[in-house]
Structure formats: structure tokens, C-alpha cells
Amino acid sequence: MYSFLNDYNEIAHPVVMDTLNNLVGKRFKGYGTDEVCERVAQQVKTRISQPNAAVHFFNGGTITNLTVISHILRPHQAVIAVDSGHVATHETGAIEATGHKVITVSSASGKLTPEHITKVLAENNDEHTVQPKLVYISNSTEIGTVYRKQELVALREVCDTHGLLLFMDGARLASGLMSKASDLTIEDVAKLTDVFYIGGTKIGALTGEILVILNPALKADFRFSIKQKGGLQAKGWLLAAQFEPLFNNDLYFKLGSHINEMATQIAQYFAGNGFDFLAPVESNQIFVILPNDLAKKLLAHYQLNVICQPTPDTTCVRFCTSWSTTQQDVDKLQQVFNSLS
């Protein structure tokens, strides 16, 4: 069965594999102190127009989120996130395990707003509650929606007003930035956040994320935090090397456009057949609502995530396109679905 389960179900983009194969026989220093990490870090700083940024390489998203949040917060402080946020739903309580509360707010759009933040601040305003200090967002969100520039500017302004820090989870940053619904650039993200990361695992890398720290106050001793949390990889060069070909000729962003285009075609097909969606399709995740019997038939042909039952008679399934999704894959899906319905 073809899998639309996720965007990390193949080993890596061919150019990434070629780059890694070309490292055979070479020797490097350990723990991110090598020339490859230095070269790619400089490549990132140039691309985001932030020469003073601190750049670190991580293996995956959860360890990145865990390390950043635990490094930033004092023992009595907390992070604000939407209730569908990755740190609140899919990280096995990793943040809480460090002693920091995740304060969640309900958001149908999957996005955080200034109003959400001010409400949390009003409810946690003295020493008898945890102190909100960090705002966590992801772009694209867990339900595939994306932030517009003005939304990020508004979050930056409310954070500055109340002395909060802004952290963007970029596990699907390529898809988020290249959405037709987005007017954000990676340079905008670098200007408006205190810290963010550039996801690689879900856009063609074997594995890896690049953390970018912009706020000077957060840079000190960060490598100590990485090591303490188990994220300082001995073969740091293995992570960094994968991003060099992804950044060359803007392949990273071209892949983001590709996965979004494949998702758009799938969404247009289902919309054209009268089906609704759990959330607007703005990136590479499509949450389509199907009658139960039709969903069951489709699941006999495709690997998909079953998300929920919006009503007793319907099932929401998620399609997630990847860098390896082809036009032929999308066309075949339509043919199969036509035969089922």
C-alpha cells in the first residue's frame, strides 16, 4: 500500500544521500566542532541575514524543543502553546518532565494569537501560579495552517510588551514558508523570533534540524544544555552535511513548494467531490472528512492517519505529502478513489 502517513517515510533525498556517500573515508572532529558544521552554520547565517546568530544541529524535533525550552525557562516559569501544539500533544510530556508547565489554549485554527497570550497572562499574574515566559508556535501548525507576516508581527509585539520570548518550531518550516497562503520569508522569521529551527527530517534529510538562536541573552552556555539533555551528537558533521545540498540553489524551498503543490491537488480533488476538511489546506497536510464506509475502503488501499470522528457517521483521515510524492502518485490516488465511490 502507498503511504501518505507522513513526510519522513523515505530515507533521504538523493542529493542528500550523495553528499553523505561523499563523506566516506573522511575524518572530522566531534560534537559539532568540525569544518562541515562551521561551513553550514555560516551558510545559514548568510541565508537568513543574521551574521551574529548562534547555530546548533539537532537530531530531531522533540529533543530540540526540550532543550530550548528547558534552557530558557527558570524553574517557576512556563510555556504557552495551543492545545494542538506538538509540545502539548506528541512529546510524551517531555517539557513537563523537566519541571515546566505547558499552558495550553484552545485554537480552532491551530495558531496562537495575542488575545490567547493576554488571557493566559491575566490568569497567571502572581507567585501562586507558574509564570508564563515563553511563547511556542509552529509553522506550519499541527493541523497544517500557516502564519501570515502580520500575525507573527502581532505576536512579537505582545511578547515585547509583556517581556516574553518567542520560539518557532520549524519542523515543517519549508512547507509553511512556501505556502501560497503565506507572505512570510525565512528572513522575517529570523527577525521576529528569539529562537527558531529549520526542520530537515520532514523535507528530505536523513534526519536533522538546525536551531537558530537570535536573542543574545539565550546563547550563553547553550552547548551545556544540549549535552545535558542528550542532544550533543558526536557525529555532528553527519547532521550538518545534509543541509548543504538542501540549501544549495534553494532546494529546501523548492521541495517545500513541491509538497504543497501535491497537497493542493489532493485537496482540490476532494473539494471538487463535495467533501469537507477539518482545517483549511494551506501546506502539506490534508485532513479530509469522509463517510465511515468510504474511509474504510480507502484505508484498504492507502496508509493514512485516522485523526478523529467529527460525527458518528464520518471519519477524518490525514494525507501528508512528502518530497517523494509524485504527480503519478496523486493521479493514482484519484483513480483509486473514483473506483471506490
Q: What are phi and psi of 290, to 5 degrees?
A: -125, 155
d(CA 310, CA 91): 24
Quick one: pLDDT at residue 1? 83
Domains of the chain: 2-7+254-340 (3.90.1150.10), 14-250 (3.40.640.10)
Per-residue pLDDT of the chain (341 residues; tens, 9 = 90+): 899 999 999 999 999 999 999 999 999 999 999 999 999 999 999 999 999 999 999 999 999 999 999 999 999 999 999 999 999 999 999 999 999 999 999 999 999 999 999 999 999 999 999 999 999 999 999 999 999 999 999 999 999 999 999 999 999 999 999 999 999 999 999 999 999 999 999 999 999 999 999 999 999 999 999 999 999 999 999 999 999 999 999 999 999 999 999 999 999 999 999 999 999 999 999 999 999 999 999 999 999 999 999 999 999 999 999 999 999 999 999 999 999 97
Quick one: pLDDT at residue 341? 76
For the entire predicted model, the pTM comes to 0.97
Quick one: pLDDT at residue 119? 98
> For residue 167, which of 137, 123, 143 has the smallest C-alpha distance?
137
- Sign of CA pseudo-dihedral 41, 152, 8, 66: positive
